[in-house]
A and B are shown apart, each in its own frame.
Chain A
Amino acid sequence: DAKTTQPTSMDCAEGRAANLPCNHSTISGNEYVYWYRQIHSQGPQYIIHGLKNNETNEMASLIITEDRKSSTLILPHATLRDTAVYYCIVSRGGGADGLTFGKGTHLIIQP
Protein backbone atom coordinates (compact mmCIF):
# COMPACT_ATOMS: atom_id res chain seq x y z
CA ASP A 1 0.00 0.00 0.00
CA ALA A 2 1.11 3.55 -0.68
CA LYS A 3 2.10 5.69 2.27
CA THR A 4 0.19 8.77 3.31
CA THR A 5 1.26 11.94 5.06
CA GLN A 6 -1.08 13.86 7.34
CA PRO A 7 -0.59 16.71 9.80
CA THR A 8 -0.21 15.48 13.35
CA SER A 9 -2.94 17.68 14.76
CA MET A 10 -5.43 20.36 13.81
CA ASP A 11 -7.88 22.60 15.61
CA CYS A 12 -11.23 23.73 14.29
CA ALA A 13 -13.97 25.87 15.79
CA GLU A 14 -17.32 24.24 16.41
CA GLY A 15 -19.76 24.95 13.59
CA ARG A 16 -17.02 25.63 11.08
CA ALA A 17 -15.91 23.35 8.25
CA ALA A 18 -12.96 21.14 9.12
CA ASN A 19 -10.62 20.50 6.22
CA LEU A 20 -8.18 17.63 6.74
CA PRO A 21 -5.42 17.26 4.13
CA CYS A 22 -3.64 14.08 3.10
CA ASN A 23 -0.74 13.53 0.74
CA HIS A 24 -0.44 10.23 -1.10
CA SER A 25 1.99 11.00 -3.90
CA THR A 26 2.86 7.34 -4.59
CA ILE A 27 -0.72 6.14 -4.98
CA SER A 28 -1.22 3.51 -7.66
CA GLY A 29 -3.88 3.61 -10.33
CA ASN A 30 -5.99 0.90 -8.71
CA GLU A 31 -5.79 2.30 -5.17
CA TYR A 32 -8.60 4.14 -3.49
CA VAL A 33 -8.39 6.79 -0.79
CA TYR A 34 -10.20 5.75 2.39
CA TRP A 35 -10.91 7.87 5.44
CA TYR A 36 -11.64 6.47 8.87
CA ARG A 37 -11.75 8.12 12.26
CA GLN A 38 -11.16 6.78 15.74
CA ILE A 39 -12.66 8.30 18.81
CA HIS A 40 -10.71 7.53 21.96
CA SER A 41 -10.88 3.87 23.01
CA GLN A 42 -13.26 2.88 20.23
CA GLY A 43 -12.89 1.00 16.96
CA PRO A 44 -12.35 3.04 13.79
CA GLN A 45 -15.42 4.40 12.04
CA TYR A 46 -15.63 4.41 8.25
CA ILE A 47 -16.23 7.88 6.81
CA ILE A 48 -15.85 7.88 3.06
CA HIS A 49 -13.72 6.65 0.18
CA GLY A 50 -13.07 7.51 -3.45
CA LEU A 51 -10.97 6.70 -6.49
CA LYS A 52 -10.67 9.92 -8.48
CA ASN A 53 -14.00 11.71 -8.41
CA ASN A 54 -15.09 13.85 -5.51
CA GLU A 55 -17.44 12.05 -3.17
CA THR A 56 -20.02 13.20 -0.64
CA ASN A 57 -22.10 11.36 1.90
CA GLU A 58 -24.02 12.25 5.02
CA MET A 59 -20.84 12.53 7.07
CA ALA A 60 -18.33 14.27 4.87
CA SER A 61 -17.00 15.24 1.46
CA LEU A 62 -13.83 13.94 -0.13
CA ILE A 63 -11.97 16.07 -2.62
CA ILE A 64 -9.25 14.30 -4.62
CA THR A 65 -6.87 16.31 -6.78
CA GLU A 66 -6.77 15.59 -10.47
CA ASP A 67 -3.32 13.98 -10.25
CA ARG A 68 -4.61 11.94 -7.25
CA LYS A 69 -1.52 12.79 -5.24
CA SER A 70 -3.47 14.44 -2.45
CA SER A 71 -6.94 14.70 -1.03
CA THR A 72 -8.95 16.67 1.52
CA LEU A 73 -11.63 15.41 3.83
CA ILE A 74 -14.22 18.04 4.64
CA LEU A 75 -16.52 17.91 7.65
CA PRO A 76 -18.95 20.68 6.73
CA HIS A 77 -20.17 21.71 10.18
CA ALA A 78 -17.88 20.33 12.85
CA THR A 79 -19.29 19.48 16.26
CA LEU A 80 -17.53 18.56 19.48
CA ARG A 81 -18.31 14.91 18.75
CA ASP A 82 -16.09 15.11 15.68
CA THR A 83 -13.00 15.33 17.90
CA ALA A 84 -11.06 12.19 16.94
CA VAL A 85 -8.00 10.86 15.13
CA TYR A 86 -8.63 10.84 11.39
CA TYR A 87 -6.81 8.33 9.23
CA CYS A 88 -6.25 8.68 5.50
CA ILE A 89 -5.43 5.28 3.97
CA VAL A 90 -4.81 4.19 0.41
CA SER A 91 -5.73 0.66 -0.51
CA ARG A 92 -6.99 -1.39 -3.37
CA GLY A 93 -10.70 -1.06 -3.89
CA GLY A 94 -13.17 -3.56 -2.52
CA GLY A 95 -11.99 -3.53 1.08
CA ALA A 96 -10.55 -7.02 0.85
CA ASP A 97 -7.04 -6.00 1.87
CA GLY A 98 -5.87 -5.33 5.37
CA LEU A 99 -5.42 -1.62 6.00
CA THR A 100 -2.16 0.12 6.85
CA PHE A 101 -2.84 2.83 9.40
CA GLY A 102 -0.45 5.75 9.76
CA LYS A 103 -0.41 8.13 12.69
CA GLY A 104 -3.40 10.12 11.44
CA THR A 105 -4.47 13.65 12.31
CA HIS A 106 -5.78 14.43 15.75
CA LEU A 107 -8.63 16.84 15.08
CA ILE A 108 -9.74 18.87 18.06
CA ILE A 109 -12.99 20.78 17.78
CA GLN A 110 -12.96 23.84 20.00
CA PRO A 111 -16.22 25.14 21.52
Chain B
Amino acid sequence: GAVVSQHPSWVICKSGTSVKIECRSLDFQATTMFWYRQFPKQSLMLMATSNEGSKATYEQGVEKDKFLINHASLTLSTLTVTSAHPEDSSFYICSAKGRAQDTQYFGPGTRLTVL
Protein backbone atom coordinates (compact mmCIF):
# COMPACT_ATOMS: atom_id res chain seq x y z
CA GLY B 1 0.00 0.00 0.00
CA ALA B 2 0.81 3.76 0.02
CA VAL B 3 1.86 4.01 -3.62
CA VAL B 4 2.50 7.37 -5.24
CA SER B 5 2.98 7.82 -8.97
CA GLN B 6 4.23 10.70 -11.07
CA HIS B 7 3.75 11.50 -14.72
CA PRO B 8 5.73 12.00 -16.81
CA SER B 9 8.88 10.32 -15.56
CA TRP B 10 10.95 12.63 -17.73
CA VAL B 11 10.29 15.61 -19.97
CA ILE B 12 12.36 17.79 -22.27
CA CYS B 13 11.01 21.17 -23.25
CA LYS B 14 12.11 24.39 -24.89
CA SER B 15 12.90 27.49 -22.89
CA GLY B 16 9.80 29.64 -22.36
CA THR B 17 7.27 26.83 -22.46
CA SER B 18 5.23 25.51 -19.54
CA VAL B 19 5.36 21.97 -18.21
CA LYS B 20 2.81 20.18 -16.03
CA ILE B 21 3.79 17.32 -13.72
CA GLU B 22 1.16 15.10 -12.12
CA CYS B 23 1.38 13.37 -8.76
CA ARG B 24 -1.18 10.74 -7.83
CA SER B 25 -1.78 8.68 -4.71
CA LEU B 26 -2.92 5.34 -6.10
CA ASP B 27 -4.27 3.49 -3.11
CA PHE B 28 -5.02 6.13 -0.51
CA GLN B 29 -6.49 9.58 -0.22
CA ALA B 30 -3.78 12.19 0.21
CA THR B 31 -4.82 14.96 2.53
CA THR B 32 -1.41 16.59 2.12
CA MET B 33 0.98 16.56 -0.79
CA PHE B 34 4.48 17.96 -0.97
CA TRP B 35 6.71 18.99 -3.84
CA TYR B 36 10.49 18.75 -3.66
CA ARG B 37 13.27 19.59 -6.08
CA GLN B 38 16.68 17.96 -6.33
CA PHE B 39 19.59 19.36 -8.32
CA PRO B 40 22.45 17.06 -9.36
CA LYS B 41 24.60 15.86 -6.48
CA GLN B 42 22.43 17.74 -3.99
CA SER B 43 19.79 16.73 -1.51
CA LEU B 44 16.04 17.18 -1.82
CA MET B 45 14.69 20.65 -1.09
CA LEU B 46 11.07 21.22 -0.12
CA MET B 47 9.33 23.58 -2.52
CA ALA B 48 5.75 23.66 -1.27
CA THR B 49 3.08 21.94 0.75
CA SER B 50 -0.50 21.61 -0.42
CA ASN B 51 -3.60 20.46 1.38
CA GLU B 52 -6.58 19.30 -0.60
CA GLY B 53 -8.85 22.19 -1.45
CA SER B 54 -6.45 24.82 -0.11
CA LYS B 55 -3.82 27.05 -1.63
CA ALA B 56 -0.31 25.71 -1.49
CA THR B 57 2.21 27.04 1.01
CA TYR B 58 5.54 27.81 -0.63
CA GLU B 59 8.97 27.70 0.98
CA GLN B 60 11.03 30.85 1.11
CA GLY B 61 12.69 31.56 -2.20
CA VAL B 62 10.26 29.51 -4.29
CA GLU B 63 8.29 31.67 -6.72
CA LYS B 64 4.62 30.83 -6.44
CA ASP B 65 3.82 32.42 -9.79
CA LYS B 66 6.41 30.30 -11.52
CA PHE B 67 5.63 26.99 -9.83
CA LEU B 68 1.85 26.63 -9.84
CA ILE B 69 0.51 23.90 -7.59
CA ASN B 70 -3.01 22.57 -7.71
CA HIS B 71 -4.37 19.96 -5.31
CA ALA B 72 -7.92 19.70 -6.55
CA SER B 73 -8.70 16.18 -5.38
CA LEU B 74 -7.62 13.75 -2.70
CA THR B 75 -5.61 11.72 -5.17
CA LEU B 76 -4.10 14.28 -7.52
CA SER B 77 -1.75 17.24 -7.27
CA THR B 78 -0.14 19.00 -10.20
CA LEU B 79 2.95 21.17 -10.44
CA THR B 80 3.17 23.48 -13.45
CA VAL B 81 6.50 25.06 -14.21
CA THR B 82 5.60 28.20 -16.14
CA SER B 83 7.94 29.80 -18.65
CA ALA B 84 10.60 27.24 -17.92
CA HIS B 85 14.26 28.17 -18.28
CA PRO B 86 17.40 26.01 -18.28
CA GLU B 87 18.00 26.77 -14.58
CA ASP B 88 14.68 25.05 -13.81
CA SER B 89 16.12 21.78 -15.08
CA SER B 90 15.98 19.47 -12.08
CA PHE B 91 14.50 16.31 -10.58
CA TYR B 92 11.03 17.09 -9.22
CA ILE B 93 9.63 14.70 -6.63
CA CYS B 94 6.27 14.67 -4.91
CA SER B 95 5.21 12.98 -1.72
CA ALA B 96 1.83 12.35 -0.18
CA LYS B 97 0.33 11.66 3.19
CA GLY B 98 -3.16 10.45 3.98
CA ARG B 99 -5.22 10.27 7.14
CA ALA B 100 -4.26 6.64 7.65
CA GLN B 101 -0.54 7.27 7.20
CA ASP B 102 1.85 8.72 9.74
CA THR B 103 4.61 9.39 7.25
CA GLN B 104 5.03 10.64 3.70
CA TYR B 105 5.37 8.37 0.71
CA PHE B 106 7.31 9.58 -2.28
CA GLY B 107 6.72 9.31 -5.99
CA PRO B 108 9.41 8.13 -8.40
CA GLY B 109 10.26 11.65 -9.54
CA THR B 110 10.14 13.57 -12.82
CA ARG B 111 13.31 14.69 -14.53
CA LEU B 112 12.82 18.02 -16.29
CA THR B 113 15.32 19.23 -18.86
CA VAL B 114 14.82 22.69 -20.32
CA LEU B 115 16.77 23.42 -23.50
Contact = CB atoms under 8 A, between A and B. Distances in A.
- Using C-beta atoms within 8 Å of the partner chain, give the interface range for chain B: 20 to 34
A98 B109 contact: no
Contacts of A94: 97, 102
Interface in B74-115: 91, 93, 95, 97, 101-109, 111
B45 interface: yes
A43 B109 contact: yes
A9 to B, nearest CB: 13
A38 B2 CA distance: 17
A90 to B, nearest CB: 13
A34 B34 CA distance: 16
A95 B104 contact: yes
A99 interface: yes
B59 interface: yes
Contacts of A45: 106
Interface residues of A, number: 23
Contacts of B46: 98-100
A36 B97 CA distance: 15
Chain A interface, DSSP helix/strand/loop, else mixed: loop
A34 B103 contact: yes
Interface stretch (A12-20, A60-68, A70-78, A101-109): A101-109
A44 B44 contact: yes
A87 B44 CA distance: 10
Nearest to A34: B103
Contacts of B106: 36, 43-46
5 contacts: A41-B111, A43-B108, A44-B106, A93-B102, A101-B43
Given A98-B34, A98-B49, A103-B43, 8 more contacts: A38-B44, A43-B95, A43-B108, A49-B103, A94-B97, A95-B102, A96-B97, A101-B43
